Amino acid sequence: MLAKRIIPCLDVTLNEKGAMVVKGVEFVNLREAGDPVELAKRYDEEGADELVFLDITASPEGRRMMIDVIERTAEQVFIPFTVGGGIRSIDDINAILSAGADKVTINTSAVKNPELVREASEIFGSQCIVIAIDCRRNFDLSKGENVVTLEDGRKAWYEVVIYGGRKPTGIDAISWAKKVEELGAGEILLTSMNRDGTKLGYDIPITRAISEAVNIPVIASGGAGKPEHFYEGFVEGKADACLAASIFHYREISIAEVKEYLAERGIPVRW
């Protein structure tokens, strides 16, 4: 049986010590969590099903240094390895895949230039093109295409945001998800800004709505704080994979504990 995937995410930046994994709340207040190569190796050993590495510096000079970090990380892991952050062109994708990544995630550039998604999936294959969608609830219902009912009965639509959540786009997240599938995306990495870093659990209404709207795998992201949240992400959110960052970095919970919790409740996980 196909296993549900647990994916640790490394948000990596550069500082005076070199490359460093960091994690903030709702994309701000970054806190250091350790060396990316060491963390990646640890997660592979602890049973992570896949690794996501996000370059959050994404400046041109940072990118060149980051390629070296990606290369060293790839040498340590023998599970699927996805890299994203600041990807703008086919050349950027080529450089990252050549450094040893298996997939790339594209976010802002996909919104600004949807043709990049089509071109990239034609050249490299859909299986390695993951589209990251960051979104935020918008209660001005006159502007959204797909209105979703929230847990508390309120209604909202989800707006795609770019530049690390700083810029709203006016684009409806559900419509955008269908569009990237059409363009050839192989997977969707969905982050709700309303939950990212909060440890309140994944944003179930949008995760479920997008999982039901597309026929490609959806990775839920943002808000995991305890094993129950992963269970909700898979069962209520219908996600194919659940991603988390800080709770794994700071050893608040281990990947094994999450998998044990899920297995006891009948969710197929890989051992």
Partner 1 sequence: MNYGVGNLKSISKAVDYVGGHAKVTDDPKEIAEAEGIILPGVGAFKSAMENLKPYKDLIINANVPVLGICLGMQLFATESEEGGLHRGLNLIPGRVVRFPDWVGKIPHMGWNQIRIVKDHDVLDGIEEGSFVYFVHSYHFVTEDKFVLTKTEYGIEFVSAVFKDNFIGFQFHPEKSGKVGLRIVENFVKMCKR
Q: How many other C-beta atoms lie within 10 A of the C-beta of residue 235?
A: 16
Smallest separation (angstroms) from partner 1 to the CB of 74: 7
DSSP H or E stretch at residue 263: helix 255-264
The neighbouring-strand residues paired with 83 are 53, 104
Confirm or reject binding of residue 74 to partner 1 (CB under 8 A): yes
Residue 68 found at the interface with partner 1 (CB under 8 A): no
49 counts as binding partner 1 under rule CB under 8 A: yes
Q: Is residue 118 a contact residue for partner 1 (CB under 8 A)?
A: no
Q: String of b and e for 146-183 (b: at least 16 CB within 10 Å)?
A: bebeeeeeeebbbbbbbebbeeebebbbbebbebbbeb
d(CA 228, CA 56): 28
Among 1, 91, 115, 152, the residue binding partner 1 under the rule CB under 8 A is 1
**Rg of the chain over CA atoms, in angstroms?**
17
Cα–Cα distances in angstroms (integers) from residue 138 to residues 107, 150, 257, in the given order:
20, 11, 35
Respond yes or no: is residue 11 known to be catalytic.
yes
Minimal distance in Å, beta carbon 93 to partner 1? 13
Task: Report the C-alpha gap between 46 and 119 in whole angstroms.
Answer: 36
Segment interacting with partner 1 (CB under 8 A) among 23-31, 125-133, 147-155, 250-258? 125-133
Please identify which residue in 5, 23, 42, 208 interacts with partner 1, judged by CB under 8 A: 5
User: How many residues are listed for the chain in this entry?
Assistant: 271
CA–CA distance, 184 with 146 (Å, rounded to integer):
22
Q: Would you say 25 or 123 has its CB closer to partner 1?
A: 123
Nearer to partner 1, 65 or 79 (CB): 79
Which of 5/195 has CB closer to partner 1?
A: 5
Please say if 134 is a catalytic residue.
yes
Binding mask 133-172 for partner 1 (x = CB under 8 A): ----------------------------------------
The single residue of 134, 172, 196, 203 carrying the catalytic annotation is 134
Pinpoint the alpha helices (H) of 125-235. Answer: 173-183, 204-213, 227-235
| Least CB distance to partner 1 at residue 99 (A) | 8
Residues that bind partner 1 (CB under 8 A): 1-3, 5, 44, 47, 49, 74-75, 78-80, 97-98, 100, 102, 125-128, 186-187, 215-217, 240-241, 270-271
Report the catalytic residues. Answer: 11, 134
